[in-house]
Chains A and B, each alone.
Chain A
Amino acid sequence: MSELNIHLHVWRQAGPQVEGKFIQYQVTVTEHASFLEMLDILNEKLIEKSEEPIAFDSDCREGICGTCGFMINGVPHGPQSATTTCQLHMRTFKTGDEIWVEPFRARAFPVMRDLVVDRGAFDRIVQSGGFISVRTGSAPEANSVRIGKQDADTAFDAAACIGCGACVAACPNASASLFTSAKMGHLGLLPQGQPQRERRTIAMVAKMDEEGFGSCTNHRECEAACPKEISIAFIARMNRDFMRAKAKERPEKQISGPG
């Protein structure tokens, strides 16, 4: 098993309102460890020395929950394509490498501590319209609506988003367009999602702006950073949907109920 000596620069910040800075650490680690396990090992060493461990988020550690993620040498989730931070292994690096680790940077993702950021803005975008309303228990028989395999597969490609925020961190404008358009693409490609399509589009775009994310100016960095390889074609689709929805937008009639 070959061991690597790594020279780390890690962003340390004690809290949201405190200034942070890079601190250097030297770690020796087997090439088979994952990047997060390397940080675990470093944290164990820090605790032994009664120094506070580095705070970072992770949960499933198999690339599906979307909890983990930070910048590794300036790239969200690090150098390996289509890979979350937890699935990145040290064999990707060489002994003697210098690695810079810092949190995702975006106005809408405030740093909470060290490498941990608050991505609550993503939840609020979904709240604004990222759903298909269906009262529990009143759904029609599942096979009553056929959905062409191609549409179903494309919807699935969008639904694969894990909400990690790498797209925002990669974008020079910190735009959430890939995340938001993926949700719209998933729901808007399915027949069930049609009745709410226009409301959804207008509401989610407005929310995205309100949360302080920037605009998309076609840098395509998001697509390159996305661990699930979600295509920017969904952003184009969102823009088309938005134009159409705006053109058709009309005031909703207030109609009083019975009695």
Chain B
Amino acid sequence: MSIELKSNAPTGPIETRWDRHRFDMKLVNPANRRKYTVIMVGSGLAGGAGAAALGQLGYNVKCFCYQDSPRRAHSIAAQGGINAAKNYQNDGDSIYRLFYDTVKGGDFRARESNVYRLAQLSVNIIDQCTAQGVPFAREYSGLLDNRSFGGAQVSRTFYARGQTGQQLLIGAYQALEEQIGAGTVQMHSRTEMLELIIIDGHARGIVTRDMATGKIESHIGDAVVLATGGYGNVFYLSTNAMGCNVTANWRAHRKGALFANPCYTQIHPTCIPVGGEYQSKLTLMSESLRNDGRVWVPKKKEDCGKRPADIAEADRDYYLERKYPSFGNLVPRDIASRNAKDVCDEGRGVGPGGLGVYLDFADSIGRLGKAKVSERYGNLFQMYERITGEDPYSTPMRIYPAIHYTMGGLWVDYNLMSNLPGLFVGGEANFSDHGANRLGASALMQGLADGYFVLPSTVANYVAKQAAEGKLTKADTSHPEVRKAEADVKARINKFLSIKGKRSPDAFHRELGLMVWEYCGMARSEEGLKTLLKKVPELREQFWSGVSVLGSGESLNQGLEKAGRVADFLEMAELLARDALDRKESCGGHFRVESQTDEGEAKRDDNNFQYVAAWEYKGDDKGPTEPVLHKEPLEFEYVKPSQRSYK
């Protein structure tokens, strides 16, 4: 297959690109819209908002989620906030500045046109959500409040206590439920997509499993949208929800959709450390804690076992303040994370297993008083105490970095369409807007921009064009391609059930996660990545001969669900390692130890790596073989690449 990666981004002045593009797109007559069916997989900010918006327009939408209700998609867990270039604080913000900050924050590995559109739409998102009744924080004046977030120099972050994701998702969910009630959206909860159906080169449908009854079904439409989130759970322990998985994306990838930049993963510096092998997930503590907490470890290894109160001030190493005097504890996420790893690798980590650093509020409590600290962070302190059983008012918190977000995803053009005609990808599931590193409070913005504003226009444009050109052949579930896809899904389920091994899918998942974290986590080396590329296929082989899936396929069977997801992670991990190996530079969340400055900071290589790495799947009956790399070169007309410095 020869693949040409055309971004289809408009040219000309960046400020008018999206508006001109919208005018150039084809429309569907209101009376005709109900004749078109759009399949939406996922019900988070991108999927839920997209399904609601398409339903409002009058399209026939089928929406799917694995959770028991669309209100529970993982977007709900975002705490911090959502950026928008409203400039309500009159502190010099603008669409252009948000665009600029996002391109730079992404370490110059995102498409300028996409990022500008995102910044532009951020303003409409706040209007939309406020009108729906999303309870953003307000000032006594009754106007919307903002805060500065993630080191931004302007206050452009809108927030809803520590539950911004929840409130935005409930807004989208309510709009979605309204459409379900109106009959424009047909909702399928507890339903998992297990295969993509392609007919005559166009994505036309999906094969699903009803997780309550085990029923395998096919759904056919005119376009398929994947809004299925990220692949952070390839690391097993992450801040993602237990059910987050790469299966929908991976099934599409195996059918020809290119997977872009899988090595761009984001590690969040302030998570509660791993307590023991029993641990099932990691909990994020809002980054805002670094505003008032000081990060330190003991200077001497032998002090690590002592109680923190017994370590004298002179024996403490406030390493971020020491190394980065101007940013101190507020350095960007990737730098804070890597430094935590370094001090722990030196043997100076604290807590169980030596994988933790202190985040100490003693100074702030002394300066501001306990009441003020409690007002700012009370709910976070309470959450910490509930999980660890320690009181952060009297003893320093322990934190450690954890996987939190994945910038990579399926490759899409400016219309959010993959290289497979009719297959669209939105939100975290695509690769598009964050480059190599996502700024705080930008994920919610991207999910909603894609869902409410971009996809409804571009999907409509696609179906209108296809109809005009007579390209969408009539297809139903009796089509041979559908029958084949269904047969493949059933065969795979039977395979899982027939292995009858000894180890649970979770046990394999945990082992995979540990090795991916070890060799492809915060710091990556050629040697380590090559080791990983050897180990993953070995584990995959063990899985296919030794996994234990009990029960039957015809009922609620959580072991079977997990087995399918772990099987796909076992393939995806290999691509992650391969991409990380191929990208010899360091950039954003991807740190190659071979590419660092004299001071140990990430060193980009724009001459050789200023491109999007889009991988084409190759494989045989046994699984993936060597994938083929396609490159989309990146050009910067407006924001000129420069090296980031936080000294």
Q: Quick check: is B201 within 8 A (CB to CB) of the other chain?
A: no
B278: chain A residues at CB < 8 Å are 29-30, 32-33, 37, 40-41
Bound: A174/B558 CA distance, A: 28
Q: Quick check: is B548 within 8 A (CB to CB) of the other chain?
A: yes
Bound: A149/B558 CA distance, A: 44
**Cross-chain contact B76 with A60 (CB below 8 angstroms):** yes
| Stretch in A93-101, A152-160, A240-248 with 4+ CB within 8 Å of B | A152-160
* Inter-chain CB contacts under 8 Å: number: 218
Q: Quick check: is B506 within 8 A (CB to CB) of the other chain?
A: yes
Bound: A29/B389 CA distance, A: 16
Of the residues B135, B165, B174, B386, contact of A152 by C-beta under 8 Å: B135
Q: Quick check: is B138 within 8 A (CB to CB) of the other chain?
A: yes
**Cross-chain contact A61 with B241 (CB below 8 angstroms):** yes
Q: A161-194: which residues lie under 8 A (CB-CB) from chain B?
A: 162-163, 186-187, 190, 192-193
**Cross-chain contact A139 with B130 (CB below 8 angstroms):** yes
Q: What's the least CB distance linking A64 to chain B, in Å?
A: 5
Q: A101-151: which residues lie under 8 A (CB-CB) from chain B?
A: 112-113, 116, 118-120, 122-123, 126-128, 130-137, 139-143, 145-149
**Cross-chain contact A119 with B69 (CB below 8 angstroms):** yes
Asked, given contacts A43-B504, A89-B387, A163-B69, whether A65 binds B280 with beta carbons under 8 Å apart, the answer is no
Q: What's the least CB distance linking B19 to chain A, in Å?
A: 13
Bound: A249/B548 CA distance, A: 60
**Cross-chain contact B167 with A141 (CB below 8 angstroms):** no
Q: B547-564: which residues lie under 8 A (CB-CB) from chain A?
A: 548, 550-551, 555-556, 558-559
Query: Which of A1, A58, A60, A140 has its CB near the most chain B CB atoms (within 10 A)?
Result: A60
Q: Mark A41-53, 1 if CB is under 8 A from B, else 0.
A: 1011001101111
How big is the A interface, by class? 35 or more
A148: chain B residues at CB < 8 Å are 138, 142
Asked, given contacts A48-B502, A143-B144, A159-B135, whether A61 binds B281 with beta carbons under 8 Å apart, the answer is yes
Q: What's the least CB distance linking B4 to chain A, in Å?
A: 33
Bound: A229/B613 CA distance, A: 48
**Cross-chain contact A119 with B68 (CB below 8 angstroms):** yes
**Cross-chain contact A51 with B76 (CB below 8 angstroms):** no
Q: Quick check: is A199 within 8 A (CB to CB) of the other chain?
A: no
Q: B64-89: which residues lie under 8 A (CB-CB) from chain A?
A: 67-72, 74, 76-77, 86, 88
Query: Which of B69, B135, B178, B243 has its CB near the most chain A CB atoms (within 10 A)?
Result: B135
Q: What's the least CB distance linking B278 to chain A, in Å?
A: 5
Q: Quick check: is B507 within 8 A (CB to CB) of the other chain?
A: yes
Bound: A113/B68 CA distance, A: 13
Q: Quick check: is A15 within 8 A (CB to CB) of the other chain?
A: yes
Q: What's the least CB distance linking B1 to chain A, in Å?
A: 36
**Cross-chain contact A132 with B143 (CB below 8 angstroms):** no
B127: chain A residues at CB < 8 Å are 139-142
Q: Mark A74-99, 1 if CB is under 8 A from B, else 0.
A: 00000010010001010100000000
**Cross-chain contact B506 with A30 (CB below 8 angstroms):** no
**Cross-chain contact B276 with A32 (CB below 8 angstroms):** yes
Of the residues B128, B131, B163, contact of A64 by C-beta under 8 Å: B163
**Cross-chain contact A146 with B142 (CB below 8 angstroms):** yes
Asked, given contacts A40-B278, A116-B556, whether A139 binds B131 with beta carbons under 8 Å apart, the answer is yes
* Chain A residue nearest to B174 in the complex (CB): A131
Asked, given contacts A59-B72, A62-B283, whether A137 binds B555 with beta carbons under 8 Å apart, the answer is no
Of the residues A67, A119, A142, A155, contact of B130 by C-beta under 8 Å: A142
**Cross-chain contact A190 with B283 (CB below 8 angstroms):** no
B189: chain A residues at CB < 8 Å are 120, 123
Q: Mark A16-51, 1 if CB is under 8 A from B, else 0.
A: 000000000000011111101100110110011011
**Cross-chain contact B452 with A136 (CB below 8 angstroms):** yes
Of the residues B76, B139, B163, B555, contact of A160 by C-beta under 8 Å: B163
Q: What's the least CB distance linking B428 to chain A, in Å?
A: 15
B136: chain A residues at CB < 8 Å are 142
* Chain B residue nearest to A122 in the complex (CB): B69
Q: Quick check: is A14 within 8 A (CB to CB) of the other chain?
A: yes
**Cross-chain contact B181 with A128 (CB below 8 angstroms):** yes
Q: What's the least CB distance linking B467 to chain A, in Å?
A: 23
**Cross-chain contact A137 with B452 (CB below 8 angstroms):** yes
Q: Quick check: is B246 within 8 A (CB to CB) of the other chain?
A: no
Bound: A139/B242 CA distance, A: 35
B166: chain A residues at CB < 8 Å are 64, 162
Q: What's the least CB distance linking A208 to chain B, in Å?
A: 15
Bound: A36/B127 CA distance, A: 39
Q: Quick check: is A57 within 8 A (CB to CB) of the other chain?
A: yes
B389: chain A residues at CB < 8 Å are 31-32, 89, 91
* Chain B residue nearest to A31 in the complex (CB): B389
Q: Quick check: is A214 within 8 A (CB to CB) of the other chain?
A: no
Bound: A163/B453 CA distance, A: 28
Of the residues B126, B242, B502, contact of A142 by C-beta under 8 Å: B126
B68: chain A residues at CB < 8 Å are 57, 67, 118-120
Q: B315-364: which residues lie under 8 A (CB-CB) from chain A?
A: 352
Q: What's the least CB distance linking B504 to chain A, in Å?
A: 4
Q: Quick check: is A55 within 8 A (CB to CB) of the other chain?
A: yes
Bound: A147/B131 CA distance, A: 12
Q: What's the least CB distance linking A212 to chain B, in Å?
A: 18
Bound: A53/B352 CA distance, A: 29
Of the residues B133, B142, B506, contact of A187 by C-beta under 8 Å: B133
B181: chain A residues at CB < 8 Å are 127-128
Bound: A107/B368 CA distance, A: 52
6 A-B residue pairs with CB within 8 Å:
A47-B559, A62-B284, A89-B386, A142-B129, A142-B144, A152-B135
In the A-B complex, the 3 residue pairs with the closest CB atoms: A146-B142, A139-B131, A131-B174
Beyond A63-B383, A89-B386, 19 additional pairs, beta carbon < 8 A: A15-B556, A29-B278, A59-B242, A62-B283, A65-B67, A112-B556, A120-B68, A120-B69, A122-B69, A130-B174, A132-B131, A134-B175, A136-B56, A137-B452, A137-B453, A142-B136, A149-B142, A187-B133, A193-B133
